[in-house]
Amino acid sequence: MNRMVVVVFDNEGKAYDGKRALWALDAEGSISVYASAVASRNSDGTASVKQEEPGLLGTLVGTPVGALIGLIGGPTGAAIGAMAGVASGFIADLDNARIGSDFVDDVTAGLSNGQAALVAEVDEDWTAPLDTRMEALGGKVYRRSLSEVRDTSDDEDTAAIKADIAQTKAEHAQAHADRKAKLRDRMSRLDSKLQERLQKAKDRREAAKRAAQAKVQVLKAKAAVAEAKAP
């Protein structure tokens, strides 16, 4: 099952130990790790990435891991410290994170300032291997199954903008000359907003497709290794 896992540790050193243990589980075949990062909670409540391992996904930008780190950082956004080149791509967006707000609340409440967390997207058939390894290192494990990409809210927003454009066009057709310029300006702004939303939805679908393809390649490679080792 595809899941988001967050393991909270008392300090960064322990979180790095947790990350090494996580990828060791991947190498053993107990789980599949698609992406991971070590993030710390700063004194102002924001989250800083200290170390990342995106695997075959190439970057944490646009992934559930990146989005969750942004959400943990709170309304001020993620203060990406060591990974400055990644900072602009983290978006605090529940749709990108593909998890419920209650999970974000649980993790945020459980991660105190000064502590560090291992954040990872994994595929696991059972929870015991990861839990056992992380608890032995002093980590507290939070996990949540990832939902499918949700387009419902975007669809509703797009429909509302289209309806507003249609109404403005109808009003423009009946308006006096002194009103037409203002209505044309409004239609232009609405159309720009519509195109922006349509592009955002397209980008999200394409990113999800690329991530899914990368994950398939991970699983195929592991299957090939297991088959080669089989007697």
Q: Are residues 42 and 130 in the same domain?
A: yes
Are 123 and 211 a contacting pair, CB within 8 Å?
no
Domain end call among 105, 127, 145: 145
Rounded distance between C-alpha atoms, residue 194 and residue 176, angstroms? 26
Residue 86 confidence (pLDDT)? 39
Domain end call among 114, 145, 176: 145
DSSP helix/strand/coil, 28: helix
Domain end call among 81, 115, 145: 145
Which tokens hold the place of 64?
């559930």
User: How many separate domains does the chain show?
Assistant: 2
Q: Are residues 40 and 129 in the same domain?
A: yes
Distance of CA 26 to the CA centre of its chain: 20
* The residue type at 210: R
pTM of this structure: 0.65
Residue 155 confidence (pLDDT)? 64
Q: Are residues 13 and 42 in the same domain?
A: yes
Name the nearest CA neighbour of 211 among 61, 40, 106, 44.
61
Q: Are residues 48 and 138 in the same domain?
A: yes
Judged by phi (left if over 0) then psi (alpha if -120 to 50, else beta), residue 147 lies in: beta
Low-confidence ranges of the chain (pLDDT < 70): 54-62, 73-98, 100, 147-157, 204, 207-208
Q: Which residues sit opposite 39 in a β-bridge?
A: 49, 117
Residue 124 confidence (pLDDT)? 87
Host domain of residue 220: 152-229
